[in-house]
Amino acid sequence: MRLIKKTIAECLRSRVKESADKIALEADEQRYTWRDLDTLSDYMVGRMLSCGIRKGTHVGIWSTNSPNWIIVFLALTKIGAIPILLNTCYSTEEMAKVLRYADAEFVYYGEGYKKLVYEDMVVSLKEELEGVVKRWIYIGRDTARRWMTEESFVFAERMKKVTKEIGGYIRKVNPDDTAAILFTSGTTAMPKGVMLSHYNLVNSSLETCEHMKWDESDKMLIAVPLFHCFGITSSLLSSIHTGFCMHVIEYYKTVTVLKSVQDYHCTLLNGVPSMFLAVVNNPLHKEYDLSSLRRGIIAGSPLSPQDYMLIRREIPSLVLHASYGQTETSPCVSIGDVGDSDEDNANSAGRVIRHCEVGIFDKDGNKLPVGTDGEICVRGYNVMQGYYNLPEATAKAIDSNGWLHTGDLGHVDERNFLYVTGRIKEMIIRGGENISPREIEMAILKYPGIKAVKVIGLPAEVLQEMIVACIVPEDGRTISNTGLMTHLENHLAYYKLPAHIVRFESLPVNASGKIMLGELKKQAAEIVKANPEATATGKDDHRKR
C-alpha cells in the first residue's frame, strides 16, 4: 500500500464517482446511497456556514451512532472544521470539563444514551458553559421518528448556488489539517484530546482495508461507537474506501446485534472482546442465523487465547483478526492478515502494519532484540499530531526521535507479529520484583469456572504492593481460594501468587469496554479491608517461603 495525500471529503467524492447510487448506509428502515450522504452533508455544510462554523472551528458531536452523526461529521470535514468526538456516557460534569478543555464553540447533540437524556443535561450545560459554547443543535430523530432526509432542509438550503460553493471549501482543506479530536479512554484520569489529521485517519483506514480484504459486496454491522477511533477508521472511513454498506445501530446490545446480523445479512462485524464474549455467552445466540458473518476485527483490550477460540467455535463463519493500537496511533499498529492461523490471531495482536515502525525499548531507552519484552514504541504516518493544548504531555508521549511511547509492554517476533504482554503503569512491584499482571491473569483463566479476571497491585506495608486477583466466576460456579491457589502454584513462581482473591459479579468498564482500573482498585481495596479473612490466600508474605 502506498500512502495517499487526500482529505476525508476528497475520499468521499471519489466514492460517489464510483458508486453514487449504491446503498451506503442503513439505519432502522431508512437507506442512503453514497450520493445521498454527499448531498445531505453538502446541505449541512450550508447550514453550518450560516451558523458561523468555519475552517478550524471546534464542534462537538455528542450522540449515539446514527445517520445524522455521520452526516454532521462528513459536513464538518468538508469545511475543515474540527469535530470533537464526545463519549456518549459522559455525565454533565464530565461533559462540561471536556467541552471547556476542547474549546468547543458549537455542539450537535442527540437524544441520549440509555438512561441519559441529553436535552435535560443541555439545560445545565448551557448555564455552565455560557460564553464557551455559542450554540447547541439537536440532531436526534424528527417528530416522525425519522433520521435526516432532503425534507429536513428548506428549499433555500438545497439551492444549487449554495451547494456549488462547497467545492471551494473542500479545496481549502489540507490532508495535514486536523480532522478530529478524539479522547483517550480516561480509565484513571481526565481524558486527553488526541489530534488526528486527515492524513492519519485516511491512511490508517486504507491500511486496515488492505489487510482485511473488505470489498463493495460486504455489509458491516456498526456496533462500536463512532466517537472512537476504531469506529471512525475501521467502519465509516473503511466503508468510504471500499464501498461496503454500513448497517448502523445506535449502540451495542447483544440481541440487537444478533437480530441485525440475521435480518440484514451482515458480513462484517468489528468489536471489543467484551462485545463478542457477551454474544457467545448469551444462550440466545444459538437461535439466530449468524452464518452471513465472514470477517471482523477484535481489538481494544486484552483477550485470552481460550476466549478467542471460544468465539471462533461459537461463530465458526466469522474469522476475527486480532489488532492492536491506540487513539494516539490512529489507531492501528498491528493487525492479522487474511490467511493467518487461528493460533496466531489468538496469541498475538497481528502483524505490524506497513509504513509503521515498532521499536521495543527498555527503561533506559535501549532498543531490545527480537522476542524480548519492553515498552512498545511506534513511529510513522499514524502517530498523532499531539494532545490538544497539552504540550508537556505531548513531549512526554513523543520523544525527540519521533517515537510514540505507548506505555504498553510487549515484543515483536521474527515474523513481525506483535505480542502485547501488559501495561507499564499496571506493573506490580513487589519486594523489588517487577511482576506482569497479564502473566498471572493468563494462568488464572486456565482454571475452570473463571469468566473474567483482572490482577492489580494494592499498597502493602512491607513489600510495596500486594497482588490482588479480581475474578468474575461463571454463573453458578463457586471458586474456592484453596482450589485456585493450588492451580496457580503449579503455574507461577511463588512471588507471583495473589495475596487476595476478590470476587465480582462484573468488572467496572468504560464505554470502550476497557476496565476502569482506578475504580476497580478502589472497590477491591474496600472489599479486602472489609473481608480480609474471606479474600486472603495465605500468600501475603512470600518472603517466608
Q: Which fold has domain 1-16+29-192?
A: Rossmann fold (3.40.50)
Q: Which fold has domain 252-426?
A: Rossmann fold (3.40.50)
Report the alpha-carbon distance of residue 223 to residue 279 in Å, rounded. Answer: 12
**Residue from 58, 56, 84 nearest 69 by CA:** 84
Report the alpha-carbon distance of residue 379 to residue 384 in Å, rounded. Answer: 10
- CB contact burial 460-497 (16+ within 10 A = b; e otherwise): beebebbbbbbbbbeeeeebebeebbeebeeebeebbb
Report the alpha-carbon distance of residue 76 to residue 215 in Å, rounded. Answer: 26
For range 66-79, the mean pLDDT:
98
For residue 331, is the peptide bond before it cis, meaning its omega torsion is within 30 degrees of 0?
Answer: yes
Q: Are 31 and 23 in contact (CB under 8 A)?
A: yes
For the cut 70, the answer to whether the pLDDT of residue 545 exceeds it is no
The pLDDT of residue 186 is: 57
For the cut 60, the answer to whether the pLDDT of residue 346 exceeds it is yes
**Residue from 197, 199, 198 nearest 388 by CA:** 197
Q: Is 193 helix (H, G, I), strand (E, B) or coil?
A: strand
pLDDT category at 542 given cuts 50, 70, 90 is very low
Q: Is there a shared CATH topology between the 1-16+29-192 domain and the 252-426 domain?
A: yes
pLDDT category at 130 given cuts 50, 70, 90 is very high
Burial of residue 347, with CB atoms counted within 10 A of its CB: 0-12 exposed, 13-18 middle, 19 or more buried: middle
Report the alpha-carbon distance of residue 503 to residue 470 in Å, rounded. Answer: 6
Residues 6+ apart with CB under 8 A from 222: 65, 231, 235, 236, 246, 247, 248, 249, 270
Q: Which three cell numbers stand for residue 272?
A: 471489543
For range 299-316, the mean pLDDT:
93
> What are the backbone dihedrals phi and psi of residue 541, each rounded to the nearest 5 degrees, phi first?
-140, 90
The pLDDT of residue 137 is: 98
Query: Domain 427-535 has what CATH class?
Result: alpha beta
**∠81-84-89 over CA atoms, to 5°?**
155
Q: Are 57 and 72 in contact (CB under 8 A)?
A: no
- Provide, rounded to the nearest whole percent, the portion of the chain with pLDDT above 70: 97
Report the alpha-carbon distance of residue 211 to residue 231 in Å, rounded. Answer: 17
The pLDDT of residue 541 is: 47
Lowest mean pLDDT among 75-84, 88-97, 410-419, 428-437: 428-437
Would you tell me how many other CB atoms lie within 10 Å of the CB of residue 27?
Answer: 21
Rg (CA), the chain: 24
Grid cell 495535514 in the structure block, residue: 176
Beta bridge partners of 324: 334
Would you tell me how many other CB atoms lie within 10 Å of the CB of residue 545?
Answer: 8
Alpha carbon distance, N-terminus to C-terminus of the chain: 56
Q: Is 395 helix (H, G, I), strand (E, B) or coil?
A: helix
Domain ranges of the chain: 1-16+29-192, 252-426, 427-535
Report the alpha-carbon distance of residue 281 to residue 285 in Å, rounded. Answer: 8
Grid cell 459554547 in the structure block, residue: 133
pLDDT category at 432 given cuts 50, 70, 90 is confident
pLDDT category at 189 given cuts 50, 70, 90 is low
HEC secondary structure over 198-239? HHHHHHHHHHHHHHHCCCCCCEEEECCCCCCHHHHHHHHHHH
Q: Are 386 and 195 in contact (CB under 8 A)?
A: yes
* Average pLDDT for the chain: 94
Lowest mean pLDDT among 139-148, 149-158, 186-195, 410-419: 186-195
Residues 6+ apart with CB under 8 A from 319: 294, 295, 296, 312, 345
Grid cell 492478515 in the structure block, residue: 337
Report the alpha-carbon distance of residue 184 to residue 192 in Å, rounded. Answer: 6
Burial of residue 284, with CB atoms counted within 10 A of its CB: 0-12 exposed, 13-18 middle, 19 or more buried: exposed
- Provide, rounded to the nearest whole percent, the portion of the chain with pLDDT above 90: 83
